[in-house]
Amino acid sequence: MGAVIAFARSQVGKGYASGADGPSMFDCSGFTMSAYARAGISLPHSSGGQAARARSIPRSMARPGDLVVGPGHVGVYMGGGMMIDAGNRRTGVVFRKLYAGLHIERL
- Report whether 77 contacts 86 (CB < 8 A): no
Per-residue pLDDT of the chain (107 residues; tens, 9 = 90+): 999 999 999 999 999 999 999 999 999 999 999 999 999 999 999 999 999 999 999 999 999 999 999 999 999 999 999 999 999 999 999 999 999 999 999 99
pLDDT at residue 17, rounded to an integer: 98
What is the DSSP pairing of strand 103-106 with strand 55-57? antiparallel
pLDDT at residue 88, rounded to an integer: 96
pLDDT at residue 5, rounded to an integer: 98
Q: Domains in the chain, start-ordered, CATH in brackets? A: 2-106 (3.90.1720.10)
Give catalytic residues, as residue numbers. Answer: 28, 73, 85
Preceding amide of 23 cis, omega within 30: yes
Q: Name the pTM for this structure.
A: 0.96
